[in-house]
Amino acid sequence: DAGVIQSPRHEVTEMGQEVTLRCKPISGHDYLFWYRQTMMRGLELLIYFNNNVPIDDSGMPEDRFSAKMPNASFSTLKIQPSEPRDSAVYFCASSPNRGLGETQYFGPGTRLLVL
């Protein structure tokens, strides 16, 4: 298996632009997680899905952030409009059934820079 795939690996954009991050989880995994990592705040869980349904989005910082999972093999995290403080590394992770007690498998991350 190729593992969790994220694209793009790097994104540079200007303030106000829309940013879309993409994730393909490991086949057969029922849980998908989006995280944000910054020096100041460490690793933060933004949202997670179970069987394509959003379960907890309490970590989403504000309405500018949205996430979707239209099918079991694809998820997006969108920021519209983007701001410089959104600059961070965004990770997607997936895990098999019983997500919380199971190991999470992380993608390589998307490094986002908003100018």
Partner 1 sequence: AQSVAQPEDQVNVAEGNPLTVKCTYSVSGNPYLFWYVQYPNRGLQFLLKYITGDNLVKGSYGFEAEFNKSQTSFHLKKPSALVSDSALYFCAVTYSSASKIIFGSGTRLSIRP
What does the binding site for partner 1 look like in residue numbers (CB under 8 A)? 4, 42-43, 45, 48, 55-56, 59, 91, 93, 100-101, 103-109
Nearest approach, Cβ of residue 73 and partner 1 (Å): 18
Distance CA 14, CA 103 (A): 36
Give, as one character, the DSSP assignment of residue 81.
Answer: S
Tracing tokens 């007690």 back to the chain, one arrives at 101
Name which of 110, 10, 22 is nearest 71 in CA terms. 22
Nearest approach, Cβ of residue 99 and partner 1 (Å): 9
Name which of 64, 112, 67, 63 is nearest 87 in CA terms. 112
Nearer to partner 1, 81 or 96 (CB): 96
Nearer to partner 1, 4 or 112 (CB): 4
Distance CA 39, CA 60 (A): 18
Nearer to partner 1, 81 or 108 (CB): 108
Nearest approach, Cβ of residue 108 and partner 1 (Å): 5
